[in-house]
Amino acid sequence: MAARQLGTARLEVIVADITTLSVDAIVNAANRSLLGGGGVDGAIHRAAGPELLAECRTLGGCETGGAKITSGYRLPARHVIHAVGPVWHSGRQGEDLALASCYARAIELCQTHGLASVAFPAISTGVYSFPADRAARIAVSSTVAALQAAPAVRRVVFCCFSNESALLHSNALAEFGSPCAD
């Protein structure tokens, strides 16, 4: 739908099922237990198979705004980065910072593990009720900022579930870098 070149990294917005993407890592919009749930979390756990749940049980959960990495098991992606987004409480409980932290921590984990490509869902915009337009701006700006310290990351995909979400991410992405010729 949209793509931008930012330094050595290509940032893309697509509408797709994140569990089908062949990237080094997909990001899971996880809950604090990391033991699966609904939405994209449930879809990733189902597609990866029971081994993912078994590994997640060894991680001891994750704080809101944090992220932890596992293998991808039966997914085309080699890894899953489980990022715990905030539940929306009118924006008065640090939700913006916690959401930004999810994207930054995921990019940091990619850099640490030498992963060149990563796909993000629209974290916290489902049952956690984060306003989608605000979340898209935070997703893109936080990722762009984190990429400055992550030269290993060459491709970032914002994998949206709907055309509406993709449009919000495309609009946010338009503020950064230069358009890519496809």
Catalytic (active-site) positions = 41
Integer distance in angstroms from the first to the last C-alpha of the chain?
A: 10
Q: Give CA 90 to chain center in angstroms.
A: 22
User: Which contiguous run of DSSP H or E holds residue 45?
Assistant: helix 39-48
Phi-psi category of 77—alpha, beta or left, where left has phi over 0 and alpha has psi -120 to 50?
beta
- Spatial contact of 27 and 123, defined as CB atoms under 8 Å apart: yes
